[in-house]
Amino acid sequence: MICRHCGTEIAAKALICYRCGQATTDPKVKPPTEGSIFEKRRRSPLPWLVAAALAAAAAAAWWLLGG
């Protein structure tokens, strides 16, 4: 097979050209157009707020009932 970028003879099943480093085929999935794929998504604080409210309500109920 011939590299379509630099014209070097490469193996038939090569994924990249050893000379120029370019991929021999088009990607099957397009990369995202904005942002980095390595950025962490921000999670919602809602589950923590609900858990804290439930814990506070349980503590208040225990205190009020003379626990």
pLDDT in single tens digits along all 67 residues of the chain:
999 999 999 999 999 999 999 999 887 887 777 777 777 778 888 999 999 999 999 999 999 998 6
Q: Is position 1 within any domain?
A: yes
Q: Is position 42 within any domain?
A: no
Count structural domains, the chain.
1
* pLDDT (0 to 100) of residue 33: 76
* pLDDT (0 to 100) of residue 50: 95
Q: Is position 52 within any domain?
A: no
Q: Which residues of 28-52 are buried (b: 16+ CB within 10 A; e: fewer)?
A: eeeeeeeeeeeeeeeeeeeeeeeee
> Which one-letter amino acid corresponds to residue 29?
V
- pTM beyond cutoff 0.75: no
- Side-chain half-sphere CA neighbours of 61 within 13 A: 6
* pLDDT (0 to 100) of residue 18: 93
Alpha-carbon distance 15 to 20, whole Å?
12
Alpha-carbon distance 44 to 34, whole Å?
21
